[in-house]
Amino acid sequence: MLELRDLVKRYRVGEGEPIRAVDGVSLNVGNGELLALYGPSGSGKSTLLDLVAALLKPDSGEVLFDGLEISALSEEGAARYRLHDLGFVSQQADLLPGALVIENAALKLWLSDPRRAQARVRPLLERLGLGDRLKQRAEQLSAGERQRLTIALALSTDPRLVLADEPTGSLDSKRGREVLGLLREVCKERGVAMLLATHDPQAAAFADRVFELRDGRLRPYEPAAVAPGARAVGGAGAVGVAGSAGPAGVAGSARAAAGAS
Ligand code: ADP
Ligand code: MG
């Protein structure tokens, strides 16, 4: 569904060598697949997501969405792609203050289907546990509820792909786990693929596959410490190892906790 081919993005600042924020990244994401991009601050995660969102143009390489070359789209084509095919969940919930919860969640649908936008997004808000908050103002929600509201907005247009950039960065670890568990569940139910950028090993654990990003270069995540006799979890391509201390080690338990297979 999504294919990245040898993507390169450099930033030029001043006279010195350009920063190679994304340095030759190739990757395939299948339908409904949850993939984590795990790496420290400055490793290129947000730049990579911006390339996928056609918010940035690569210096070289390609982003293909169902075979369509995203970097070749016009401004208008890119805007349509972002509106219909993508959903975004970021660290800061970008909500419209003063507007009701249901109005916030309906914002994207309102652009294409204003009369039915609220009715269409309502079941999703209920699924996300916000059914009794619909008529409250967005700023009255707790941090965890706000993130659930941004998930509703992101999924409202039935996108094929969600780009989540540090979606739990503003939450404590318990709320973070709840939000990620829910995000994973809802994406799996609807067959939505997700690219989850995070520096948090606990967050990476909610993905089907984990890749590590370092200085703009991508490699499969290798758990540092594998306990003797540890049992591999997941199918082909899964990097999870039960009993390890790293992200993939948490994966099994996180998925078990979320009730997913
Ligand atoms: P992450 O999201 O993993 O923290 P970023 O993609 O934001 O990483 O940044 C990757 C590298 O590119 C960093 O060295 C960062 O300083 C640099 N960078 C990001 N955005 C810009 C920009 N607009 N101009 C110049 N350098 C940038
Ligand atoms: Mg970032």
The residues spanned by each domain of the chain are 2-85+159-257
Provide the whole-model pTM. 0.85
207 closest CA partner among 158, 165, 247, 173:
247
Which spans in the chain are helix H?
Answer: 45-52, 75-84, 101-105, 107-112, 117-127, 143-155, 173-190, 201-204, 247-257
45 lines ligand 1 (CB under 6 A): yes
The label of the residue with tokens 């990245």 reads: 4
Report whether residue 144 contacts ligand 1, using a CB cutoff of 6 Å.
Answer: no
Q: Whose CA is nearest to atom 17 of ligand 1?
A: 21
pLDDT in tens, 220-236: 987 664 444 444 444 33
Query: 91: Cβ below 6 Å to ligand 1?
Result: no
Give residue-wise pLDDT tens across range 7-18: 999 999 888 899
CATH number of 2-85+159-257: 3.40.50.300
The answer on pLDDT for 240 being more than 60 is no
Ion ligand 2: residue ranges with CB closer than 5 A: 45-46
- Mutation test of ligand 1: which of 9, 19, 37 has the most ligand atoms closer than 8 Å to its C-beta? 19
Task: Find tokens 């989850």 and name the residue.
Answer: 196
